[in-house]
Amino acid sequence: MSRVAPRLVSVWVTGDALEGFTIEAPTGHIKVFLPLPGQDAPLLPEFLPEGQVVADDERPVVRTYTPRRFDPRTRALEVQFLLHGAGPASEWAERAQAGDKLAVAGPGGRFSMDPAAEHWWIAGDESAIPAVGTLLEALPGSASAQVHLEVADVGDEIEFSSPAKTEITWHHRRAADAWGAELDEAARGAAIANGTRVWVACEAAAMRGIRKHFLAGRRLPASSLVTRGYWRLGEVNHPDHDYGDDDLSR
């Protein structure tokens, strides 16, 4: 375990089971299975004809994370955990030590990058920093990207690398609970050229506001947007497939 930033912990997962693991597209996700307190390793459900077999009180904690990078030579997978406070995955990462056991499943996700897209408008909060890193590294040199990241303070800012022409703007949260307000304001002020691809991932309600602005306010085609709720305030284990395409008023 090492720190990418004071609140962003990098964990390298290795094991023979990662033979053949591949990251097919940027911004994909994996499921991370973590042991319960007192367990050495997560108890993984067995799928038998009679259903899933693991007692309810022994089920591992399962959360969604980004496969940040994978080295097939050493079968090492990097996962970056934001230390956001109370939450079993965040707390596990804060304590993680070499030799600790976890399980991963995946990767999954439905994102496929259009290499012909010339302009990108990308926004995310701390939980999306790993995914933004995968996206920027995958952009072609012909692309340009405006990137807006909302974090608590300057300590959360990290370096990115990309073949594309990128302009990164860091926003510091205006109040501790103003999740996504800076990203929302950045979206409202954005100059969006025709054909721009928009990618946004942050708190789910904030994402819906930004999505609504681009669709209803700017009349951008829905096909040009990927908007993702990566977590929801007050909710444990927010689903991994919240694209905000259900109800614009939420």
Where do contacts with ligand FAD occur on this chain (CB under 6 A)? 29, 63-66, 80-82, 84, 86-90, 127, 130-131, 230-238, 240
- Cβ of residue 230: shortest distance to ligand FAD, in angstroms? 4
- Cβ of residue 12: shortest distance to ligand FAD, in angstroms? 14
Indicate the residue among 44 and 216 with the shorter CB distance to ligand FAD.
Answer: 44
Which residue, 92, 66, 91, 90, is CA-closest to 79? 66
Q: Which position's Cβ is nearest ligand FAD? A: 87
Indicate the residue among 24 and 216 with the shorter CB distance to ligand FAD.
Answer: 24
Give me the helix-helix angle, 204-212 and 181-188, nearest 10°.
10
Q: What is the DSSP letter of 152?
A: S
89 alpha carbon, distance to own chain's centre: 14
Residues ≥6 apart with Cβ < 8 Å to 15: 75
Q: What is the DSSP letter of 186?
A: H
Indicate the residue among 53 and 233 with the shorter CB distance to ligand FAD.
Answer: 233
Q: What is the DSSP letter of 32?
A: E
- Cβ of residue 107: shortest distance to ligand FAD, in angstroms? 10
- Cβ of residue 79: shortest distance to ligand FAD, in angstroms? 6
- Cβ of residue 117: shortest distance to ligand FAD, in angstroms? 21
Q: How far apart are CA 84 and CA 207, in angstroms?
A: 18
Indicate the residue among 165 and 174 with the shorter CB distance to ligand FAD.
Answer: 174
